[in-house]
Amino acid sequence: MEFHPNRNITKKKPYRICFVCLGNICRSPTAEGIFQQKVTECDLNTFFYIDSAGTSAYHVGEKANAISRRIAESHGVSLLSRARQFNSKDFYKFDLILAMDSSNYTNIMKLKSGITNSQVELMRSFDPIGSNEDVPDPYYGGINGFENVFTILMRSSEELLKQLSPYLVNE
Active-site residues, by number, are: 21, 27, 137
With binding defined as CB under 6 A, does residue 24 bind ligand 4NP? Answer: yes
Long-range own/partner contacts, residues 133-142 (CB < 8 A, 24 or more apart): 134/100, 134/101, 134/102, 134/103, 135/21, 135/27, 135/31, 135/100, 135/101, 136/101, 137/21, 137/22, 137/26, 137/27, 137/101, 138/26, 138/27, 138/67, 138/68, 139/22, 139/23, 139/25, 139/26, 139/65
Q: Which of residues 54-73 bind ligand 4NP (CB under 6 A)?
A: 54, 58-59
Near ligand 4NP by CB under 6 A: residue from 51, 134, 137, 159: 137
Task: Pick the piece of the chain touching ligand 4NP (CB under 6 A) from 10-18, 20-28, 31-39, 118-126.
Answer: 20-28
Instruction: Specify the DSSP element, H or E, that contains 108.
Output: helix 102-110
Task: Pick the piece of the chain touching ligand 4NP (CB under 6 A) from 23-31, 71-79, 84-92, 122-130.
Answer: 23-31
Q: Is residue 104 within 8 Å of 55, Cβ to Cβ?
A: yes
Query: CB of residue 26 vs ligand 4NP: minimum separation in angstroms?
Result: 3
Query: CB of residue 5 vs ligand 4NP: minimum separation in angstroms?
Result: 25
CA distance 105 to 13: 26
SS3 label, residue 9: strand
Near ligand 4NP by CB under 6 A: residue from 27, 38, 69, 124: 27
With binding defined as CB under 6 A, does residue 139 bind ligand 4NP? Answer: yes
With binding defined as CB under 6 A, does residue 22 bind ligand 4NP? Answer: yes
Q: Which is nearer to ligand 4NP, 21 or 39 (CB)?
A: 21
For binding to ligand 4NP (CB under 6 A), which residues are involved?
21-27, 54, 58-59, 137, 139
